Chain A
Amino acid sequence: MATEKKKILVVGGGIAGMTAALEAAEVGREVILCERRPYLGGRVAQLYRYFPKLCPPACGLEINYKRIKANPRLQVLTLTEVVSVSGSEGAFKVTLRSSPRYVNEKCTCCGKCAEACALEVPDLFNYGMSTVKAAHLPHANAFPARYVLEPELVAKRELAEKVKAACEPGAIDLEESGKSFELEVGAIVWATGWDPYDPTGVQYYGFGKHPDVITNVMMERLAALDGPTGGKILRRSDGAAPQHVVFVQCAGSRDEHHLAHCSGVCCLASLKQATYVREQLPESKVTICYIDIRTPDRLEDFYLKVQQDPAVAFVKSKIADISAKGDKLLLHGEDTLAGKRVQLEADLVVLATGIVPCRPDESLKVDENGFLTRDQVAGYGVAGCAVAPVEVSSTVQDGTAAALRAIQSLAR
Chain B
Amino acid sequence: MADKKIGTFICTGCEIGSSVDVAALQKLATSEKAAHCATHACLCSAEGVATVKQAIADQQLTTVVLAACSPRAMQEVFQFPGSELVRANLREGVAWTQVAGEEDTQHLAEDYLRMGMEQARRTGLPAPYLEGEFEKRILVVGGGVAGLTAALEAARAGYDVTLLEKSAELGGFARRLHRSVPSKAPYRESEATGIDELVAQVKDQKRIELRLEAEVEKIEGGPCKFEVTLKDGKALKAGAIILAAGFTPYDAGKLGHLGHGRLKDVVTSVELEALAREGKLVRPSDGKPVESVLFVQCAGSRDKDHLPYCSSICCQTSLKQAAYLRAQNPKAQAYVLYKDMRTPGQAEELYREAQRQGTVFIRGELKELAQPNGKISASVHDLLLAEDVTLEDLDLVVLAVGQRPATLMEGENVEPLQGDAVQKPAILKLNYRQGPELPNLRYGYPDSHFICFPYETRRTGIFAAGTVRRAMGMAEAKRDAQGAALKAIQAVEMISRGEAVHPRAGDQTYPEFFMQRCTQCKRCTEECPFGAINEDAKANPLPNPTRCRRCGVCMGACPERIISFKNYSVDMIGSMIKAIHVPDEFEEKPRILGFVCENDAYPVLDRLAQAKEKLSPFVRFVPLRCMGSMNLVWVADALSKGIDGLLFFGCHHGDDYQCHFIKGSELCATRLSKVQETLDRLVLESARVRFEQISMNDVEKVPAIISEFMETLEGLGPNPYKGF
Measuring CB to CB, which residues of chain A are less than 8 angstroms from any residue of chain B? 15, 23-24, 26-28, 48-64, 66-67, 69-71, 105-106, 108-111, 137, 140-141, 145, 168-169, 224-226, 231, 254, 256, 260-264, 292-301, 304, 316, 336-339, 367-369, 371, 373-375, 388-394, 396-398, 400-401, 403-405, 407-408, 411
Contacts and interface: CB of A to CB of B under 8 A. Distances in A.
A297 B451 contact: no
A171 to B, nearest CB: 9
Interface stretch (B126-134, B346-354, B390-398, B425-433): B346-354
* Best-surrounded residue of B340, B363, B487 (most CB of chain A within 10 A): B340
Given A70-B506, A336-B384, A393-B451, A408 B346 contact: no
Given A60-B451, A407-B486, A298 B442 contact: yes
Contacts of A109: 73, 610
A253 to B, nearest CB: 9
Given A297-B311, A339-B384, A411-B156, A141 B656 contact: no
A405 B505 CA distance: 21
B156 A408 contact: yes
B490 A23 contact: yes
A26 B505 contact: yes
Contacts of A407: 157, 486, 489
A388 B309 contact: no
Interface stretch (B579-587, B664-672, B680-688, B694-702): B694-702
B347 A401 contact: no
Interface in B125-165: 153, 156-158
Nearest to A107: B44
A298 B445 contact: yes
B264 interface: no
Contact of A140 (B385, B600, B607): B607
Given A55-B656, A297-B471, A298-B309, A404 B346 contact: no
A59 B45 contact: no
A337 B490 contact: no
A66 to B, nearest CB: 7
A69 B77 CA distance: 9
Given A60-B453, A108-B69, A261-B345, A26 B599 contact: no
A401 B480 contact: yes
Contacts of A337: 363, 383-384, 386
B362 to A, nearest CB: 12
Given A23-B490, A394-B476, A396-B454, 4 more contacts: A63-B599, A264-B345, A292-B342, A397-B454
Contact of A296 (B312, B480, B501, B699): B312
A141 B607 contact: yes
A262 B345 contact: yes
A411 B518 CA distance: 48
Contacts of A298: 309, 441-443, 445, 447, 470-471
13 contacts: A67-B505, A69-B75, A108-B69, A140-B611, A168-B13, A225-B697, A263-B345, A297-B310, A368-B185, A392-B451, A396-B454, A404-B483, A408-B153
Interface in B187-219: 187
Top 5 closest A-B pairs, CB basis?
Answer: A60-B452, A367-B185, A401-B482, A264-B344, A400-B483
Given A373-B185, A411-B158, A294 B344 contact: yes
B15 A296 contact: no
B700 to A, nearest CB: 6
Nearest to B476: A394
B308 A59 contact: no
Contact of A261 (B310, B348, B452, B699): B348
Nearest to A169: B42
A388 B451 contact: no
Given A57-B452, A261-B348, A294 B340 contact: yes
Nearest to B483: A400
B309 A392 contact: no
Interface string B361-386: 00100000000000000000001111
B714 to A, nearest CB: 29
B485 interface: yes
A145 B700 CA distance: 21
B699 A225 contact: yes
A58 B483 contact: no
Given A60-B453, A405-B482, A400 B349 contact: no
A390 B308 CA distance: 22
Given A56-B695, A301-B442, A392-B452, A67 B386 contact: no
Contact of A26 (B447, B450, B506): B506
B386 A27 contact: no
Nearest to A388: B345
B493 interface: yes
B253 interface: no
Given A108-B14, A140-B610, A292-B342, A301 B486 contact: no
Given A298-B445, A338-B386, A389 B345 contact: yes
* Best-surrounded residue of B451, B454, B696 (most CB of chain A within 10 A): B451
Nearest to B701: A225
B486 A50 contact: no
Interface string B329-352: 000000000001111111111001
B33 interface: no
Contact of A403 (B73, B343, B349, B486): B486
B479 interface: yes
A67 B345 contact: no
B494 interface: yes
B503 interface: yes
Contacts of B352: 256, 260
* Best-surrounded residue of A59, A371, A373 (most CB of chain B within 10 A): A59
Nearest to B472: A297
A69 B184 CA distance: 37
B341 A292 contact: yes
B460 interface: no
A374 B184 contact: yes
Contacts of B442: 298, 301
A67 B505 CA distance: 6
A371 to B, nearest CB: 7
B456 to A, nearest CB: 10
Contact of A262 (B344, B600, B658): B344
A131 to B, nearest CB: 17
A105 B45 CA distance: 8
B249 interface: no
A404 B695 contact: no
A144 B652 CA distance: 27
A52 B270 CA distance: 31
* Best-surrounded residue of B450, B502, B658 (most CB of chain A within 10 A): B450
Contacts of B15: 110
A299 B470 CA distance: 10
B179 to A, nearest CB: 19
Contacts of A404: 153, 157, 482-483, 485-486, 489
B494 to A, nearest CB: 6
B232 interface: no
Interface string B442-486: 110101001111110000000000000011100010011011011
Contacts of B490: 23, 26-27
A26 B496 CA distance: 12
A49 B698 CA distance: 12
Contacts of A393: 451-452, 454
A195 B28 CA distance: 55
A411 B184 contact: no
B419 interface: no
B282 to A, nearest CB: 32
Contact of A53 (B187, B302, B656, B696): B656
B483 A411 contact: no
B603 A62 contact: yes
A58 B303 CA distance: 35
A300 B308 contact: yes
B550 interface: no
B336 to A, nearest CB: 12
Interface string B42-77: 101100000000000000000000000100011111
